[in-house]
Amino acid sequence: MVTVENLHKKFNKNVVLSGIDLNINEGGIFAVLGPNGSGKTTLIKTILGMVIPNKGAITVLGKNIKHNSEYRSKIDYLPQIANFPSNLKVKELIKMIKDLRGNTNEDVRLIKLFNLEPFLNKKLGNLSGGTKQKVNIVLTFMFDSPLIILDEPTTGLDPISLIRLKELIQTEKAKGKTLIITSHIMSFVEEVSDEIVFILEGEIYFKGTINELKTKTNQPDFEHAIASILIDNHA
């Protein structure tokens, strides 16, 4: 599904990715974890073609993404921060995205699922952060792409919306889709992910299941396993 080979990226003198090799198979939920500044968002953005690496190759759905933008239509992407035009109404934004990407009726179900009907005629600039995130989720899940990338999808969500998001993620997984998720919420990661990729200082420190990580770090639970990695690398 996604193959990354010897990926390097630096911004000026700041090395962000340092020779990353990663293979993500088709089907399942993969969490990309790491402390702030570890390179996980840069990795996501290179897969999306939003950041050009200095060196290395990326293949998505069997095709090298260099000089190829068509593959992006097969990805649904939820950005960490939704920068919507503040003067647009919610329903206008949804219509605009449908006009750009193709028609779908899935938005009707998702709007109801996240209780967004009262906000459809409101301007995006007047919405709370949590409501904007729900709009963000609707825009991401209303299309039927084989690869879904979610960058910090739980930000600002109330408990009921978080449950709905988890259900959505599991429904998409059941369809055989591949989901790549970044999150700082360890309980969420533990609940939804099949495998984790832990990035530290631009390199992959660990790839495998949460149980394998607990065994490797000799820790009783996931949060302590992650903490032990960070402590060991700052010792």
Please say whether the beta carbons of 31 and 178 come within 8 A: no
For residue 235, pLDDT over 60 is answered with no
d(CA 63, CA 42): 20
| β-sheet bridge partners, residue 10 | 15
pLDDT confidence of residue 54: 93
Q: What is the mean pLDDT of residues 116-133?
A: 94
Q: State the pLDDT at residue 20.
A: 93
Q: Which domain, by its residues, includes 161?
A: 2-234
The CA distance from 221 to 7, in Å, is 31
Strands (E), the chain: 2-11, 14-24, 28-33, 55-60, 63-64, 75-78, 147-151, 178-182, 195-200, 203-208
Question: What's the confidence (pLDDT) of residue 43?
Answer: 93
Question: In 49-183, which residue ranges form alpha helices assigned H by DSSP?
Answer: 90-101, 106-113, 129-141, 159-174
Task: Tell me what the mean pLDDT of segment 223-231 comes to.
Answer: 89
CB atoms near residue 232 (< 10 Å): 11
pLDDT of residue 232: 80
Nearest-angstrom CA–CA distance, 30 and 180: 5
- Assess contact for 10 and 202: CB atoms under 8 A: no
The count of structural domains within the chain is: 1
State the average pLDDT for the chain: 92
CATH number at residue 63: 3.40.50.300
For the segment 98-127, the average pLDDT, to the nearest whole number, is 93
Q: What pLDDT does residue 234 have? A: 67
Per residue in 55-90, pLDDT (tens digit) is 999 999 888 898 888 888 889 999 987 788 899 999
Please give the average per-residue pLDDT across 148-176, as a whole number.
95
Q: Which residues contact 224 (CB under 8 A, 6 or more apart)?
A: 217
- Taking alpha carbons only, the member of 181, 121, 184, 178 closest to residue 156 is 184
